[in-house]
Chain A
Amino acid sequence: MATQKTLAATGNVLVAEAMRQCAPDVMAAYPITPQTTIVEEFAKFVAQGRVHTEYVTVESEHSAMSACVGASAAGARVMTATSSQGLALMWEELHIASGMRLPIVMANANRALSAPINIHCDHSDVMGARDTGWIILFAETAQEAYDNTIMSVRIAEHPDVLLPVMTTLDGFITTHSIDRAQVMDDETVAAFVGDYHPDLALLDDTKPPVSHGNFAGLGGPYFEFKKAQRNAIDRSAAVIKSVGEEWSAICERPFGVIEGWGMEDAELAIVAIGSTAGNARHVARELRAQGVRVGVLKVRVFRPFPFAEIADALGGCKAVAVLDRSESFGAEGGPLFLEVRSALYDRAERPAIVDYIYGLGGADVKLELMRRVFSDLSDIADGAEVPGRLVYLGAR
C-alpha cells in the first residue's frame, strides 16, 4: 500500500530524499551553490548507513561525471548533482554519457553562468547543455523536483531509452525555499524504480569481456551511432508519458509533458518553464477573475521537446509570450522561444509570439512583470505592433 507523508522541506532536501529512495550504487559529486545541500544531505545518509551507495567525493565536476560514466558502464545505478559552473565544466562528459548510452541521473540546481559571477537562478547552465543528448526535465516546485527525480530513474533505465536524464530545479527559489510536499514510502519508490539490469556491463563476468568507448572514426559508424541516439531520445517521449502516468496513478499528482492552466479557451498565453510558471499562473487567475481569457502553459519536459503538444495547446491563441530565463546571444530569441516558435511553424493558424528574457542572475520575477506581459499580449491581440522580437523584461 502506497503511503505518503506530508513534509515541509526544501527542494534540495526532497531531491536528496528521492535519490536515497532510488538507492543508487554510486554517487560521485562535487559541491557548488545552490546544489550543495543535495550532496551534503546525501553525505548524511552515507554516514548514517541509510544507503548502500559508494559515495565518491571527487575533486571536480569533470571527474564527477567521468566517474559516473565509469560506474554506469560498470553496471551500477549512478546519480550525481551539480549546477552552473559545475555543469559547464562537465560539458565534454555530458556528451560522452549520452553517446555511451549511460542512464545516469543528475539533478541540476539552475543557476547563472559567469561572468560576472552570480550564484542565483537562471537557466543559462541547463540551456547550455540542451544539445548534449540528455533528457531534460524542469521542476516548478519542490514536489515536482522530488517526483521528477524518481521518474528519471525509470525513464533513463528503460530499455527503449538508455539515456542520461537531467532533472532540474530553480536555484534558491526551489532548491532552498521550504515548501510542502508529499513523500512516498521507501518500499513503494523501490518497487516503482525496480532493479537496474544493464546489458554489457564491464563488471558482468557471465559474458565475454566488452570494450566501451571505442574509436569510431576512419569511416566508422559514428554517424549511425548518432542516428541511434536520436531515435532513442525520440522514443523516450512515449516512455516519459507512460512513466508519468504510472507514477501519477500511485501518488495522485499529474505529470503531463506540458501542463496548461486555462489553455482550453485562452486567447493570451504565457509559456514558461520552472518556478516562474507559478508566478504567471497567479496573475492569470487574477485576470481570469476579471474576465480576461488568459492561460499559462508550463513545459515540464524540455528534451525531448514536446512540439506537437505545444502547438496544439497554443494553436487557438491570439498572442503568446514566451518567457526565457536564459540568453542565446545573437539568436532570434531565447532557447525556449526558438523551440516554441518552431513548434508553431507547421500550423496554418499561428498566434503572434513575443520573447521575454527575464530573471537573469536571479533578477526578481515580480507579479507586476507578469501583469505587464499579459497587458502587452492584450495590446497585441487588439492589433498593436509586436514590441520587437525580444524584450528584456524588468531590466533597468
Chain B
Amino acid sequence: MASIKELSRREDKLAGGHRLCAGCGASIAVRQVLLGAGDDYQIVAGCATGCLEVSTTIYPYSSWKVPFIHNAFENSAATISGVEAAFKGLKAAGKIPGDKKMKFVAFGGDGGTYDIGLQSLSGAMERGHDMVYVCYDNGAYMNTGIQRSSATPKGAWATTAEVGKAQQGKTQKRKDLTSIIAAHNIPYVAQGSISEWKDLAAKAEKAFAVDGPAFLNVFAPCPRGWRIPYNQSVSIASLAVKTGYWPLFEVVDGEWAMTTKRVTRENRLPIEDFLKPQGRFKHLFRPGNEALLVEIQADVDRNLDYVMKRAGL
C-alpha cells in the first residue's frame, strides 16, 4: 500500500479545470482510484454518460491524461470490455508485444451502473475481462437534474420522488449492488468512500492488481443534489461510513472482510447524524415522519448485520 507521500508524488490522471461542481465527489473518487492504481501499468479509461463524463470531456478539451472513451449511458462496461478485447486481439495479431501490460477501467454513475447499465456490467463481469469497474455512487441521476435511481436512499427527496402530502420522498429501499456484483464470483469486489482515501486507494491498488474483473463501489456525494454546502462532501461521506449507512468492506475471492475503522452495530452513530445535515432529507424531521426514521434506522442496522455476518463477525 502506497503511503500518502508516495501518492502525492504520483501524477494525477484527471486534470483540474474540468466543469464538475465545486466539491463534487465524482472527481475525488476518480483521482483517488487512479492514484491508488499506481504507475505500474498504462491505463485506458471509459466513462458512462453522466455528470463526470459531460464535465470532463468538453470538446476540444479533455481532463483525462490517459486514453479515454465515452460511448453512451448504459454501456461503459461493454465498451471497456471491447477495448480490453482489442488489446488481446492485437496481441494475438502481433501488433502489440505479448508482454505489454495495460489495465482497463470503466467509470459509471449509480444510474449508469445500478439501473440502465446493470446488464452490461453483469455481462462484462461474467465474461471475466481484465478490467476494473468503478461506480461513483451519488444516489441519483444528477446530470439530468436529481432524479431517483435504485441507489437513492429510502426517504430521500428527488425530482422524481417528490415530497408532498401523499409521499415523503423515495418510497423504496436502495438496491445492494455491491452484493449483486459479489455474487458474480469475481476475484475482487469492494465498497469504498471518498472520505477514507487510504482505504480507497488500497482497494484500488488491489482491484487493479487482479488478473480479471474487479468492481469498486465508491460513495461520492453530490453537493448540488444532496442540498449540502460544497465544502461538506467529504464530511458527509465520512458520516455515511460512521453511521453504518455505507459499510466499508471487500470481497477477495469470495471472502468477505470489513475494512478500516470497523463500524459495527455497537459503535455506529445514529443514522440521523448522516441524514440531518442534508437538505434532501429535511422533510424526514418534520412531525409525523418519526416512524419513517425508525424504519430507515432499522434498514441500516439490518444491512450492517448482513455485512458483519458475511465478514464472519
Asked if B78 contacts A212 (CB within 8 A), the reply is: no
B87 interfacial contact with A, CB 8 Å: yes
* Per-position binary interface string of chain B over residues 37-59, scored 1 when its CB falls under 8 Å from any chain A CB and 0 otherwise: 00000101010000001100111
B264 to chain A, nearest CB (A): 38
Within 46-74 of A, Cβ neighbours of B (below 8 Å) are at: 52-54, 56-60, 62-63, 66-74
A202 interfacial contact with B, CB 8 Å: yes
Asked if A67 contacts B92 (CB within 8 A), the reply is: no
Asked if B82 contacts A69 (CB within 8 A), the reply is: yes
Q: In the bound complex, what is the Cα–Cα distance between A56 and B102 (angstroms)?
A: 19
A6 interfacial contact with B, CB 8 Å: no
B91 to chain A, nearest CB (A): 9
Asked if A71 contacts B89 (CB within 8 A), the reply is: yes
B64 interfacial contact with A, CB 8 Å: yes
Give every chain A residue within 8 A of B59 (Cβ-Cβ): 214-216, 220-221
Give every chain A residue within 8 A of B68 (Cβ-Cβ): 202, 209-212
Within 81-104 of B, Cβ neighbours of A (below 8 Å) are at: 81-83, 85-90, 92-93, 95-96, 102
Give every chain B residue within 8 A of A67 (Cβ-Cβ): 78-79, 81-82, 85
- Interface size for chain B: under 10, 10 to 19, 20 to 34, or 35 or more residues? 35 or more
Number of interface residues of A (CB under 8 A): 45
Q: In the bound complex, what is the Cα–Cα distance between A273 and B86 (angstroms)?
A: 35
B68 to chain A, nearest CB (A): 4
The closest CB in chain B to the CB of A202 belongs to B67
Among the listed stretches B25-33, B118-126, B241-249, B292-300, which one makes contact with chain A, having 4 or more residues with CB under 8 Å of it?
A: B118-126
Within 104-122 of B, Cβ neighbours of A (below 8 Å) are at: 119-120, 122
A388 interfacial contact with B, CB 8 Å: no
Asked if B87 contacts A74 (CB within 8 A), the reply is: yes
Give every chain A residue within 8 A of B53 (Cβ-Cβ): 215
Q: In the bound complex, what is the Cα–Cα distance between A56 and B119 (angstroms)?
A: 15
Which of the listed residues B72, B126, B127 has the most CB atoms from chain A within 10 Å of its own CB? Answer: B72
Q: A60-B119, A218-B58 in contact; A52/B93 too (CB < 8 A)?
A: yes
Q: In the bound complex, what is the Cα–Cα distance between A74 and B66 (angstroms)?
A: 13
Q: In the bound complex, what is the Cα–Cα distance between A221 and B81 (angstroms)?
A: 29
B119 to chain A, nearest CB (A): 6
Give every chain B residue within 8 A of A213 (Cβ-Cβ): 57, 69-71
A28 interfacial contact with B, CB 8 Å: yes
Give every chain A residue within 8 A of B70 (Cβ-Cβ): 211-215
Asked if A215 contacts B54 (CB within 8 A), the reply is: yes
A52 to chain B, nearest CB (A): 4
Contact residue among A63, A203, A220 (Cβ-Cβ distance under 8 Å from B90) = A203
Asked if A73 contacts B64 (CB within 8 A), the reply is: no
The closest CB in chain A to the CB of B94 belongs to A52
B175 interfacial contact with A, CB 8 Å: no
Asked if A209 contacts B123 (CB within 8 A), the reply is: no
* Per-position binary interface string of chain A over residues 214-236, scored 1 when its CB falls under 8 Å from any chain B CB and 0 otherwise: 11111011000000000000000
Asked if A25 contacts B69 (CB within 8 A), the reply is: no
A206 to chain B, nearest CB (A): 11
A205 interfacial contact with B, CB 8 Å: yes
Q: A211-B68, A211-B69 in contact; A59/B119 too (CB < 8 A)?
A: yes
Question: What would 21 A/B residue contacts be, using CB atoms closer than 8 Å?
Answer: A28-B82, A52-B93, A59-B120, A59-B126, A60-B123, A63-B119, A63-B123, A67-B85, A70-B83, A73-B69, A73-B83, A74-B44, A74-B86, A75-B86, A93-B71, A202-B44, A209-B66, A211-B68, A211-B70, A215-B53, A215-B58
Binding site for A on B (CB under 8 A): 42, 44, 46, 53-54, 57-60, 62, 64-72, 74-75, 78-83, 85-90, 92-93, 95-96, 102, 119-120, 122-124, 126-127
Sorted from nearest, which 4 A-B pairs have the closest CB atoms? A70-B82, A67-B82, A25-B89, A59-B123
